[in-house]
Structure 1
Amino acid sequence: MPSPSPAQPRRLGLTGSIGAGKSTVAALLRGRGLTVLDADEVAREVTRDPAVLAEIEAEFPGVVRGGELDRAALAERVFGDPARLAVLNGITHPRVRARMRALEQEAAARGEEWIVQDVPLLFEGELQGQMDAVLVVDAPLEVRVSRVMARSGLSREAVLTRDARQMPAEEKRRRATVVLDNGGELGALAEQVDRALAALGIGQEKSPSLS
Structure 2
Amino acid sequence: MTDSASFPAPLRRLGLTGSIGAGKSTVAALLRAHGLTVLDADAQARLVTEELETLERIEAAFPGTVRGGVLDRPALSAVAFADPARLAELNAIVHPRVRARMAALEQQAVADGAQWTVQDIPLLFEGGLNTSMDAVLVVDAPLELRVARVMERSQFSREEVLARDARQTPAAEKRQKADFVIDNSSTVEELETQVDAALEALGISQRRV
TM-score of the two chains, using structure 1 as the length reference:
0.91
User: Structure 1 unaligned runs (5+)?
Assistant: none
The correspondence of residues 119-130 of structure 1 with structure 2, limited to 5 A, is: 119-130=121-132
Contact kept? 1:15, 1:120, Cα under 8 Å = yes
Distance change in 2, residues 1:174/1:161 (3 Å)? same
2:42 to 40, 43, 47: 40
Please name the residue that 2:146 is paired with.
144
Matched, 1:23 2:22: no
User: For 2:8 and 2:111, how far apart are their aligned partners in 1?
Assistant: 6
Contact kept? 1:8, 1:105, Cα under 8 Å = no
Q: What is the CA-CA distance between 1:71 and the residue it aligns to?
A: 1.2
User: For 2:158 and 2:181, how far apart are their aligned partners in 1?
Assistant: 25
Contact kept? 1:79, 1:85, Cα under 8 Å = yes
> How many positions carry a matched residue from both structures?
204
Let me know the Cα RMSD of the aligned residues.
Answer: 1.7
User: For 1:108 and 1:119, how far apart are their aligned partners in 2?
Assistant: 19
Matched, 1:96 2:101: no
Matched, 1:72 2:74: yes
Q: What is the CA-CA distance between 1:6 and the residue it aligns to?
A: 6.8
TM-score of the two chains, using structure 2 as the length reference:
0.92
Distance change in 2, residues 1:47/1:6 (3 Å)? farther
Please name the residue that 2:158 is paired with.
156
* AA aligned opposite 1:179: V
- Pick which of 6-15 and 195-204 moved more: 6-15
Distance change in 2, residues 1:76/1:109 (3 Å)? same
2:167 to 136, 142, 165: 165
Dislocated runs of 4+, deviation >4 Å: 4-8
Contact kept? 1:6, 1:108, Cα under 8 Å = no
